[in-house]
Amino acid sequence: MVEEKKEAKKEVKKELPISEVTTCKSTAQMLRKAAEDGVETAFHRAMEMKACPIGADSACCKHCAMGPCRLSSKNPYEKTGVCGATIDTIASRNFARMVACGTASHTDHGMTMLEVFRGVIRGEIPDYQIKDEQKLRDVAASIGIEVEGRGVKEVAEDLYHELEKTYTQVEGEIPFTKRVPKKTLEKWRELGIVPRGAMREIMEIMHRSHMGVDQDYENMVKQCSRTALADGWGGAMVATEISDILFGTPTPVVAGVDMGNLEEGKVNIIVHGHEPNLFESIIASVNDPKLLEEAKAAGAAGINLLGMCCSGAEVLSRHGVPHAGNFMSVEPVLITGAVDAMAVDVQCIQQALAPLSKCYGTRFFTTNPRAKIEGADHVEFHENRPRECTDKVVRMAIERFKSRPAKVVIPQNKSLGVHGFSHEYVNYMLGGSFRSSYVPLNDNIINGRIRGVAGVVGCTNPRVRQDYVHVELVKELIKNDILVVQTGCSQIALAKAGLMKPDAAVLAGDGLREVCETVGMPPVLGLGSCVDNSRILIACAEMVRTGGLGESIADLPVAGAAPEWMSEKAIAIGQYFVASGVFTVFGVTFPTITETKFHKLLFEGLEKQGLGKWGFAVDPYEMARLMIDHINKKREALGIMAARERKLFDMADRQKLEAESA
Ligand code: XCC
């Protein structure tokens, strides 16, 4: 092994208790191989590095050089920072910066999509086209743009200008607030939390969290909501809608998930990150006859393209491209030795991937000018000539295939499931093509077959057993007749567990099972990547608009969870769901101290203001109980609890009726 490869290896001190850190069979197998190969992963680093307890409670402040100041988690009001900042100021300021960073990540991603859209409609980017004209018209009409009798270009140009306001507008309300249910929007206006434009809100939150500015935690939380809403109903929603317009709105597709999708005899290429542009171009590259010929000449049976994390979840939904695993499986997949190249763009790319890929001779490429990694090869991706980058990645992968330096071990686990449930398809699926609507969903919630709907989303995290909380929580929810919608790494956890198949309906309660069997859908619906959480917001708005379940999102019998979260983006997502009116439960840890006023505002006060609220539980069954209790509480308030208790009309009822009428 060459010198630099040796450097990438670290001495692994303690033995990793593999069955305690993951329930993913492929990841476990690769962690055993890691021990043989003498390489380390985030699981090892998390075991060796205890999380900082003061940071975990958000009881430290490093916003100026009079500190950093540390307060006591046990006695949070005992002292203040040097400037006098209380625990509520410090924790709310830290929280605000997490929201700002998460929002910035999604909105910057959305802005890239919007720039590509502009380039496409102005003829500057010939490699992409508008694939879904109907979606273009629907999105435009939803924000008041005239579409009748107008050409695609005209509508697209107006849509571009309108959506640009999501970012640049300094006064007024961002465009997608037109999709928000009236009562929810009125509440936001009353509280002063309607976002003006993402750049303004992020700028303001950064200003307000500077030393000596906003030192009232309630005021700070308002700006957290305003900023987060500029993510969910702003940047993230733009990213989803523009991706659908350019690359096609997902419809259900059967696809495989897990490391068993790697193929030893083919050139294996993985794309990992978040922006679909790179992935769409690499799909074109791997299907290029010339490159396929080059792969064949190198002795390969073909080129095998897989996704990981969110860009993987997005193309899994949109095109049925196989998915190799979620966030905590990215290092383990390199340990297979089967990955010839990995191309990454932005977000959730662990720095450790660069040295680890060297250990296995995998060609590792960064592609985005925003996200370079020391030690990685940078092949810049330009939207107006995307194939320059992606053809090169494919060629480098073929080179590596020719002389694979490491032994290849591919875990033989592969789970087929149905993915790609956009909110448009849910509409069609439940209502049928002639009466597509959310009426059947609302009816089934009102009559109690479906108790409610839960969004289970988000990351995996080496501080908890990988996939375990996601899978157990979702099983418990569907058992209790709660329809589950999913995005991101959580969706991949459930896909590996086999719950994305229609026959998983046997695990659901009687009511949900009946609906799933009638429609032929799984009880767990995968919607795509993290920005596609915006599909859940739109579905909630549709449920309100359809009627019978209250007047605002806060009235709906719904709940959300990110059971194994780790990123600041997850906090932004959680805050926009809470501000939209949804009870949202997080696991792992939560950056507050329970006894503080700031904590009480997030976990109780916001609901009293008419919004949603935060919840916290580590145990999946406790988490499910919190969500079910909340959904029951909402059913009670809507006066539909009795319907749920009523016995459903079954075969015995029919026989009785027939006997009576005979
Ligand atoms: Fe996964 Fe999006 Fe979380 Fe990253 S943040 S770990 S869901 S890849 Ni969305």
Say if residue 649's pLDDT is above 70.
Answer: no
Q: Does 327 contact ligand 1 (Cβ within 6 A)?
A: yes
DSSP assignment letter at 257 = E
- Per residue in 493-514, pLDDT tens? 999 999 999 999 999 999 999 9
CA of 646 to the centre of ligand 1 (A): 40
Q: What is the pLDDT of residue 405?
A: 87
| Cα(309) to centroid(ligand 1), Å | 6
Tokens 């919840």 locate to: 615
Query: Residue 489: CB within 6 Å of ligand 1?
Result: yes
CA–CA separation, 155 vs 135, rounded Å?
A: 11
Q: Are 74 and 53 in contact (CB under 8 A)?
A: no
- Amino acid at site 586: F
Q: Is the dihedral of CA 519, 524, 528, 531 positive or negative?
A: positive
CA dihedral over 585, 588, 593, 594, signed as positive or negative: positive
Confidence of residue 642 (pLDDT cuts 50, 70, 90): confident
Instruction: Determine which residue's CA is closest to atom 4 belonging to ligand 1.
Output: 348
Helices (H), 288-377: 289-297, 309-319, 330-335, 353-359
Q: Which residue has the tokens 């929002």?
A: 103
Is pLDDT above 80 for 195?
yes
Cβ of residue 585 lying under 6 Å from some atom of ligand 1 = no
pLDDT value for 422: 85
**Cβ distance 21 to 466 under 8 Å?**
yes
Contact between 409 and 337 (Cβ < 8 Å): yes
pLDDT category, 429, cuts 50, 70, 90? confident
Q: What is the DSSP letter of 414?
A: -
pLDDT given at position 192? 97
Amino acid at 544: V
For residues 149-169, average pLDDT: 96
- pLDDT of residue 637 exceeding 90: yes
pLDDT of 304 over the 50 cut: yes
* Cβ contact 266:410 at 8 Å: no
pLDDT of residue 427 exceeding 80, the answer is: no
Mean pLDDT calculated for residue range 308-315: 94
Going by C-alpha positions, the residue among 529, 622, 614 that lies closest to residue 571 is 614
488 lines ligand 1 (CB under 6 A): yes
421 CA from centroid of ligand 1 (Å): 19
Residue 122 confidence (pLDDT): 95
pLDDT at res. 659:
60
58 CA distance to ligand 1 middle (Å): 22
Among the listed residues 81, 18, 24, 8, the one whose alpha carbon sits nearest the alpha carbon of residue 492: 24
Cβ of 598 below 6 Å from ligand 1:
no
Report how far ligand 1's centroid is from the alpha carbon of 241 (Å): 19
CA-based torsion, 640, 642, 648, 649: positive or negative: negative
Rg of the Cα atoms in the chain: 25
Instruction: Judge whether 457 and 487 are in contact, CB under 8 Å.
Output: yes
Pocket test residue of 530, 564, 566, 571 for ligand 1, highest count of atoms within 8 A of CB: 530
Q: Give me the phi and psi of 569, to 5 degrees please.
A: -60, -35
Helix then strand count (H, E) for the chain reads 30, 16
Closest by Cα among 189, 180, 170, 175 to 144: 175
User: Mean of the pLDDT values across residues 466-474?
Assistant: 98
- Which residue in 273, 254, 334, 263 sits closest to 304, CA to CA? 263
Question: What is the per-residue pLDDT across 433-463, written as a single tens digit (0 to 9) for each?
Answer: 555 688 889 999 999 999 999 999 999 999 9
Q: Which ligand 1 atom minimizes the distance to the CA of 529?
A: 2
Does the C-beta of 348 come closer than 6 Å to ligand 1? yes
Distance from the alpha carbon of residue 486 to the mean position of ligand 1, in angstroms: 12
Instruction: Using a pLDDT cut of 90, give the percent of the chain over it.
Output: 90
Q: Are 93 and 256 in contact (CB under 8 A)?
A: no
Q: What is the mean pLDDT of the chain?
A: 93
Q: Whose CA is nearest to atom 9 of ligand 1?
A: 530
Interior CA angle at 564 toward 563 and 566, to 5°? 130
Nearest residue CA, atom 2 of ligand 1? 310
Reported as a pLDDT band with limits 50, 70 and 90, residue 11 is low
Please say if the pLDDT value at position 107 is more than 70.
yes
Q: How far is the CA of 182 from the centre of ligand 1 (A)?
A: 31
Among 310, 330, 460, 534, the mutation site with the greatest number of ligand 1 atoms within 8 A of its Cβ is 310
Per-residue pLDDT at 3? 44
Of 237, 174, 163, the C-alpha closest to 200 is 174
Is pLDDT above 80 for 196? yes
**Cα–Cα distance between 326 and 333 in angstroms, integer?**
10
574 CA → ligand 1 middle, Å:
13
**What pLDDT does residue 436 have?**
65
For the segment 351-355, the average pLDDT, to the nearest whole number, is 97
Residue nearest to atom 3 of ligand 1 (CA): 459
Q: What angle do CA 524, 21, 416 make, to 5 degrees?
A: 30
Pair 279, 393: CB distance under 8 Å: no
Q: Is the CB of 346 under 6 A from ligand 1?
A: no
Residue 458 beta carbon below 6 angstroms from any ligand 1 atom = yes
Residue 470 Cβ < 6 Å to ligand 1? no
Reported confidence tier of residue 654, pLDDT bands at 50, 70, 90:
very low
- The rounded Å distance from CA 563 to ligand 1 centre is 12
By C-alpha distance, which of 110, 240, 118 is closest to 179?
Answer: 240
Residues 353-375 have a mean pLDDT of 96
What predicted TM-score, i.e. pTM, was given to this entire model?
Answer: 0.93
Give the per-residue pLDDT at 300.
97
- Pocket of ligand 1 contains residue 310 by CB under 6 Å: yes
Give all strands of the β-sheet with 363-366 in edge-to-edge order: 377-378, 363-366, 341-344, 267-272, 303-308, 323-325, 253-257, 415-419
The stretch 545-556 carries a mean pLDDT of 96
C-beta 8 within 6 A of ligand 1: no
Quote the pLDDT of residue 406: 77
Judged against a pLDDT cut of 70, whether residue 643 lies above it is answered with no
Q: How many residues does the chain have?
A: 662
| Token pair 């009235």 in the structure block, residue | 555
Percentage of the residues of the chain whose pLDDT score is greater than 70: 94
